[in-house]
Amino acid sequence: MVVKVDKIEKNKVSLEIVVGADEFSSAINRTAKKVAGEINVPGFRKGKAPRHIIERYVGKDYLEKEAMEPLIGPAYVKAVEESAIWPVSRPEVEVIQAEDGKDLIFKALVEVKPEVELGQYTGLEIPKATVEVTEEQIEEELKRRQEMHAKLIPVDDGEVLDKDIVTIDFEGFIDGVAFEGGKGEDHDLAIGSGTFIPGFEEQLIGARKDQELDVNVPFPDEYHSKELAGKDALFKVKVKAIKRKELVPLDDEFAKDVSEFDTLNELREDIKEKMITSTEMKISNEHRAEIVKKVVDNASVELPEGMIQNRIEALIQDLGTNLSYQGVTIEQYYSYINSNKEEVYENYRVQAVESIKTELVLEAIANKEGITVSDEDVEKEMEKLAENHGRKIEELKEALTARGELDWFKIGIVSDRTIDLLVEKNSSNKKDTGEQLENNDIEKKE
Amino acid sequence: MRDARDVLIRPVISEKSVGMVEEAKYTFWVNTAANKIEIKSAVEKMFKVQVDEVRTLKVKGKEKRMGRYVGKTSDKKKAIVTLKPGNKIEGFAGL
């Protein structure tokens, strides 16, 4: 078998594949035998008609075509292997010559994985935000907890103040007619929470327990119910109870009540620590993402259309699976978001392009930097993952293998490491910048 | 004498006849009225070969019925022509 690789466009390759005449004609003979077994030629028992009779009966073209089809697939696969290309779409096959006694020649047009032109990917000096937790933030958190654990004290004798929680019965009328959804009983309403239409809560301030009062408020113009929007409404309200939040003082006693710590200072320390870890995590994630984005932006890749389409399909399929868990079909979803298939495709396109490009760039860098993952590494990562999910490693491995995701798992580790490397080489608050400069020089020389 | 094309109607193409080609025996459907001598010269003239021997047989037409009407397909005559060594008819089945 001879293969001629031709690069037509940037990411399009045409493979001219030649299958030897011998192989082709023996394939034709096989086909003739097969056909002989399937058709009735008068004068012959099934399968007994000789080749030339069959040829006359079904036509030579037919035999050649039939013989060619099972040859093309394996020949294509072999050609791809030999020519070391990485196809990302189905090949378009064009037969150039298919004649008995001559070589079988066909062309396969296929989109291949694009080559990545890496831009600068070291020494980008991307600053990492410093972790800062201020006293105020801690105080805020404490206050939030204080609020959370506040006691509700019934106020029997007194007026409604801002932030109080009132229990009310209410009924709303527009032009003297009660409207749907405007009635409630024993409704707990926090004044100032903005749960009711604007103006309502404020008018309750100053009311007393067991007082009945009328509240006149207009529905806002942009109210979600069209029938009510912009109309003046009258609510007959009865205040049944008033409760006031009473904050417990922030002291050791409070710390003991709400946490496992004995003193307020310990609690404060703990809050600080947790805040630092969580912001650190957030910042370093952001930092990583920023570096990756920068590196990806610096690189240039021309993505083949087929690859993008495949990815979009995959994304939409994922979406469909997720939706089906909620019992929604994809069509229902389309109509729900007031869209259609084409628009959703278009929307996902950006995401698809971004993710493919990121993957390709990371892969290219991993290749260039020689980042690989050994089986032991995979094993280790699996152990970690298994532990996190509280499952046995064997179970996990089985699941991964069964779904054929072992390779993906490996790729995931490689790209994680690549990102680690990128982070290491692109952080600006790293001291030894000398090495990075060197790398840059090499990059430029190339 | 009849023209060669009136004597030889068409080759018999069947497993048996195709198999006999190897023994230099070629089978034809021939005019029922033709005799061995006529067949011999017709084959020699048409295919430019030398014929060694001609054997013939008659194939009686079959009785066919359409309801109560009895019909009959026509009788036919087959000739098995043996060529002299070194002769052969190219593309026998392709006539």
Q: Which domains does chain A have, with CATH numbers?
A: 2-111 (3.30.70.1050), 151-246 (3.10.50.40), 255-441 (1.10.3120.10)
Q: What is the pLDDT of residues A234-278, one digit of tens each?
A: 888 888 888 887 777 777 777 777 777 778 888 888 888 888 888
Residue A53 and residue B13: Cβ atoms within 8 Å?
Answer: yes
Q: Which of residues 7-46 of A touch B (CB under 8 A)?
A: 43-45
Q: What is the pLDDT of residues A290-331, one digit of tens each?
A: 888 888 888 777 777 777 888 888 888 888 888 888 888 888
The β-bridge relationship of strands A104-111 and B63-66 is unpaired
Packed helices A406-426 and A264-298: angle between N→C axes, nearest 10 degrees: 100
Which two three-digit tokens encode residue A267?
């609690």
CA A313 to chain B, closest CA, distance in angstroms equals 54
Residue B13 and residue A48: Cβ atoms within 8 Å?
Answer: no
Q: Are A267 and A261 in contact (CB under 8 A)?
A: yes
- Please give the full DSSP string across A308-371, using - where no structure is assigned: HHHHHHHHHHHHHHHHHHTT--HHHHHHHTT--HHHHHHHHHHHHHHHHHHHHHHHHHHHHHT-
- Count of alpha carbons within 13 Å of A261, Cβ hemisphere only? 13
| Angle formed at CA B41 by CA B37 and CA B42, multiple of 5 degrees | 110
Q: Does B14 touch chain A (CB under 8 A)?
A: yes
pLDDT of residue B74: 92
CA B1 to chain A, closest CA, distance in angstroms equals 32
Instruction: Return left, alpha or beta for B2; rule: phi > 0 is left, psi -120 to 50 is alpha, else beta.
Output: beta
Gap between the Cα atoms of A140 and A234, Å rounded: 39
Q: Does B94 touch chain A (CB under 8 A)?
A: yes
pLDDT of residue A446: 36
Residue B15 and residue A56: Cβ atoms within 8 Å?
Answer: no
**Whose structure tokens read 């008068």?**
A42
Gap between the Cα atoms of B35 and B29, Å rounded: 12
Which two three-digit tokens encode residue A228?
């009510």
- Most A CBs within 10 A among B18, B22, B89, B95, hence the mutation to make, goes to B18
pLDDT at A396 > cutoff 90: no
Which two three-digit tokens encode residue A132?
């800062």
**Which residue of chain B has the CA closest to A43?**
B14
pLDDT at A10 > cutoff 80: no
- Most A CBs within 10 A among B10, B12, B14, hence the mutation to make, goes to B14
Gap between the Cα atoms of B41 and B51, Å rounded: 8
Residues of A in contact with B12 (CB under 8 A): 43
Q: Does B46 touch chain A (CB under 8 A)?
A: no
**Whose structure tokens read 């293998």?**
A401
CA A43 to chain B, closest CA, distance in angstroms equals 4
Residue A45 and residue B17: Cβ atoms within 8 Å?
Answer: no
Rounded to 5 degrees, φ, ψ at A154 are -65, 135
Gap between the Cα atoms of A307 and A311, Å rounded: 6
* Three-class DSSP category at B1: coil
**Which residue of chain B has the CA closest to A41?**
B14
- Cβ count near A141 (within 10 Å): 17
**Which residue of chain B has the CA closest to A46?**
B15
Residues of A in contact with B93 (CB under 8 A): 50, 52-53, 56
Which of A43, A52, A56 is nearest residue B14 as measured by Cβ atoms?
A43
CA A39 to chain B, closest CA, distance in angstroms equals 15
Please name every residue paired with A189 in a beta bridge, in sequence order, or none if there are none: A166
Sign of the CA dihedral with A361 first, then A362, A363, and A364 last: positive
A160 burial level (CB within 10 Å; 0-12, 13-18, 19+):
buried
- Most B CBs within 10 A among A40, A52, A55, hence the mutation to make, goes to A52
Q: What is the pLDDT along chain B (95 residues), one digit of tens a residue?
A: 678 888 999 899 888 988 888 889 999 999 999 999 999 999 999 889 999 999 999 999 999 888 888 889 999 999 999 999 988 887 776 54
The average pLDDT across A99-107 equals 81
The average pLDDT across A392-397 equals 77
ipTM comes to 0.75
Comparing CA positions, the residue from A216, A211, A215, A201 lying closest to residue A164 is: A201
The average pLDDT across A120-129 equals 74
Q: Does A149 touch chain B (CB under 8 A)?
A: no
- Cβ count near A308 (within 10 Å): 17
**Which residue of chain A has the CA closest to B13?**
A43
Residue B18 and residue A45: Cβ atoms within 8 Å?
Answer: no
CA A26 to chain B, closest CA, distance in angstroms equals 21
pLDDT of residue B36: 93
Sign of the CA dihedral with A35 first, then A37, A39, and A41 last: positive
pLDDT at A439 > cutoff 70: no
pLDDT at A434 > cutoff 60: no
Question: pLDDT band at residue A422, thresholds of 50, 70 and 90?
Answer: confident
Residues of A in contact with B14 (CB under 8 A): 43-44
Question: pLDDT band at residue A116, thresholds of 50, 70 and 90?
Answer: confident
Please name every residue paired with A121 in a beta bridge, in sequence order, or none if there are none: none
The average pLDDT across A282-297 equals 82
pLDDT of residue A132: 77
Instruction: Return left, alpha or beta for B8; rule: phi > 0 is left, psi -120 to 50 is alpha, else beta.
Output: beta
Sheet holding B25-30, edge to edge: B8-11, B25-30, B76-83, B51-59
Which of A45, A48, A56 is nearest residue B93 as measured by Cβ atoms?
A56
| Angle formed at CA A276 by CA A274 and CA A280, multiple of 5 degrees | 120
pLDDT at A429 > cutoff 70: no
Residue A43 and residue B17: Cβ atoms within 8 Å?
Answer: yes
Taking only Cα atoms into account, the Rg of chain A, rounded to an integer number of angstroms, comes to: 36
Packed helices A406-426 and A375-389: angle between N→C axes, nearest 10 degrees: 100
Q: Which residues of A413-444 are buried (b: 16+ CB within 10 A; e: fewer)?
A: bbbebbbebbbebbbeeeeeeeebeeebeeee
pLDDT of residue A27: 84
CA A97 to chain B, closest CA, distance in angstroms equals 25
Residue B94 and residue A56: Cβ atoms within 8 Å?
Answer: yes
Gap between the Cα atoms of A365 and A292, Å rounded: 11
**Which residue of chain A has the CA closest to B19?**
A50
Which two three-digit tokens encode residue A88?
């990302």
Residues of A in contact with B94 (CB under 8 A): 52, 56
CA B16 to chain A, closest CA, distance in angstroms equals 8
**Which residue of chain B has the CA closest to A55?**
B94
* Three-class DSSP category at A375: helix
- Cβ count near A163 (within 10 Å): 13
Q: Does A56 touch chain B (CB under 8 A)?
A: yes
